[in-house]
Amino acid sequence: MQSEYPLTTAQITAYQRDGYIQLNDVITGADLTAFRDAVNDAVKKDTANADPNRVKNSYEQIFIQCVNVWHRYPAVRPFVTSRYLGSIASRLSGLSVRLWHDHALFKEPHTGAKTPWHQDTPYWPHEQKMHQLTIWIALRDATIQNGCMSFIPGTQKMLDIEPVNLANPQDLYDVAPQAKGLKPVTCELKAGSCTVHNGMTFHYAGPNRSDGMREAIAIIYMPDGTTYLKVPHPVTDPLHLETGVKLNSELFPLVSN
Ligand SMILES: O=C(O)CCC(=O)C(=O)O
């Protein structure tokens, strides 16, 4: 990977104003091939024992989701824990950041359902909610046809909205009437390009109507100093933490200066 992805002041300002940004060609060439292969291998191994005849619940119909692949797959680790990506998150947010978690998100051809409009941070066991951010990397081209991401600019400032139930989603305008009239922006991405969104920004991805898998990995960052809030979450449940402790162990590495 390059030593530092170039970001202009205008891009940082746009991210902070809109709550999302598209960045092109972040991972390229041999790095892209290696990252894509490593994540594909991880998803293949994680799903090897899945019963192909099992009826999927409505959440599982959205995508195959493999969380914290960097913990289990050494070939994924250098990408997910890289200062190269961490520095993008840090410069956009203006803060030192730690890794919260990664997840491979593979939307299956023809059957992968839409990802409903939602904000992320309300699901997370964090006392502070304002500055988490996700780098969502297309490992293959992400298009309208296969379920690329869309964002509603400025919605990162909408706090205290009821979390959307992804398995049985409420209508966006019922949960966030303030979003009426705001125009969503859809971001088609070439493989190796990414979007970055604030965890409070409303976002959506369409269903996969193509013949190929929509292959993406999302890497989520939180400000250094973020403290735990005791609510159920698969990443923190095994750690038996108490509210107020800093999420600063080696499971949440500092990935920026
Ligand atoms: O990949 C998707 O379909 C949705 C991803 C998402 O919601 C996220 O990364 O926060």
Question: What is the reported pLDDT for 52?
Answer: 82
Residue 2: pLDDT above 80?
Answer: no
**Cβ neighbour number for residue 161 with a 10 Å cutoff:** 17
Q: What is the pTM of this model?
A: 0.97
Residues in Cβ contact with 143 at an 8 Å cutoff, skipping those fewer than 6 apart: 188, 210
Q: Is the CB of residue 158 less than 8 Å from the CB of residue 176?
A: yes
- Domain coordinates in residue numbering, the chain: 9-48+56-239
State which H helix or E strand residue 167 sits in: none
State which H helix or E strand residue 101 sits in: strand 97-107
Q: Which of 158, 98, 133, 122 is nearest to 233 (CA)?
A: 122
| Bridge partners for 105 per DSSP | 65, 216
Residue 132: pLDDT above 80?
Answer: yes
Q: Which residues line ligand 1 (CB under 6 A)?
A: 63, 105, 115, 120, 134, 136, 203, 205, 216, 218
Rounded to whole angstroms, the Cα distance separating 217 from 31 reads: 14
CATH architecture assigned to 9-48+56-239: Sandwich (2.60)
Query: pLDDT tens digit string along 70-113?
Result: 999 999 999 999 999 999 999 999 999 999 999 999 999 999 99
State which of 108, 134, 146, 215 you would mutate to test the pocket of ligand 1, scoring each by most atoms of that ligand within 8 A of its C-beta.
134
Mean pLDDT of 216-243: 98
Encoded tokens for 239: 């750690």
Q: Which atom of ligand 1 is nearest to the CA of 220?
A: 9
